[in-house]
Amino acid sequence: MRKRKLSLRAVQKLTCKKRDAWWTVLLVDPVATRVLIRIARFGFITPNGVTWGALFVGLGSAGFFLRGDTQSLIIGAALYHVSFILDCIDGKLARLKGNGTVFGGWLDYVFDRIRVLFCALALMGGQYLRTDSAWYLIAALVVVFLDMLRYVDALQIYKMRMSMRTKIEKLKDARHAAEAAQTAETPAEEPKVVFMEDLLRENPGVEAEILKQQADNVVDLHAQFRDRFPWYTRLRQAMLRSRVRPHLISGIEFQMFIFIIGPLVGQILWTTAVSAVLLGLFELVIMYKFWLSTRDFTRVVEELAPEPVVAGGSVADHLHAGRHRRAGLDQTSVGGIPVDQRFPAPEPHEDPGFQPYPEPRYDAGFLYGGHDGSAPAQTGYAGAAPILHAPVAHTDGRWPGAEEHLR
């Protein structure tokens, strides 16, 4: 039975990202989609297999870079571009066949970093061996550091954006439930929170104000940036018509200029220096944009929160010394609201590494070879550190001799 031919237009629409780096849109996607149509018919070719192939080709590129002569640099640059094309094909193949995995995404990310590391060391090391110039060693460190900074910063900003979104969604739900409780009515299903950046991504040619009017429950975390730079919206819309994202010097262009353009033109140091400066400037713009986004986030939270927990950057009143001894104050609440509810611990998505301090045990004592009668004696190795005995509840909530330590 003859296999049907895949439609190039359909494959491009399914596998190509709506926004991508200009190098990928202009120099990679036209080749990658056509290669994808040829290899998609073979069932033994998997996305992970293509990822491994991209790594081996990239390591071959590093081998030619290490030789350092002009011909080897040209071959190494060509192999690096082939490696990057394969690196794009693995994701497209996963989207085309629907067989992508979480492990495959991790593998692709790790292999990208390995390829950049080996190619940077080989390219700059080969030139150092030929010229004995220490500037190439410095350039190698700069390339590896900036590549690491770019991707670590991108992941951290993405994590923070997801945390802000989750916080806003929770506050929206809590406010909706509180309003329903005040009216003693069964809360109706609230419209899902929609973020302006998602609307603009799906509708690149539509103004933000029009989208805000057409959609309900819209949250805009980039309002300040658009207000300060209105020309950016027009530039973004013009570029997105060609699927090119406004971030013109990203990690992809940074790698391509250093590992392809530099070796081809024979100006490795100058190409690395210019690429590093441009990448650094664009990273500063991204950080500035994220800072403005956090200010929008603070504004939205203040609008949704029933009352500010700590106003004006001051310390909460219940934390001041002596307050717990004031007559008539409920030590377990602030303003009638339990402390653990008004000042909750961070959620797991907000601070994955947070571990609350253990509750203090005021009745615990130390055994130094004997016991005080409140618990059975415990034994340990001779000369070992003091052993904390099992706690025993006390009705007054204090430890023995507590009055002597009050200040």
Residue-level pLDDT at 12: 84
Residue-level pLDDT at 130: 93
pLDDT tens figures, 286-320: 999 999 999 999 988 888 876 655 555 566 665 66
Q: What is the 3-state secondary structure (H, E, C) of the chain?
A: CCCCCCCHHHHHHHHCCCCECHHHHHHHHHHHHHHHHHHCCCCCCCHHHHHHHHHHHHHHHHHHHHHCCHHHHHHHHHHHHHHHHHHHHHHHHHHHHCCCCHHHHHHHHHHHHHHHHHHHHHHHHHHHHHHCCCHHHHHHHHHHHHHHHHHHHHHHHHHHHHHHHHHHHHHHHHHHHHHHHHCCCCCCCCCCCEEHHHHHHHCCCCCHHHHHHHCCCEECCCHHHHHHCHHHHHHHHHHHCCCECCCCCCHHHHHHHHHHHHHHHCCHHHHHHHHHHHHHHHHHHHHHHHHHHHHHHHHHHHHHCCCCCCHHHCCCHHHCCCHHHCCCCCCCEECCEEHHHHCCCCCCCCCCCCCCCCCCCCCCCEECCCCCCCCCCCCCCCCCCCEECCCCCCCCCCCCCHHHHCC
Residue-level pLDDT at 378: 45
Residue 393: band (very low, low, confident or very high) from pLDDT cuts 50, 70, 90: very low
Residue 369: band (very low, low, confident or very high) from pLDDT cuts 50, 70, 90: very low
Residue-level pLDDT at 112: 92
pLDDT tens figures, 246-255: 888 888 999 9
Residue 57, pLDDT > 60, answer yes
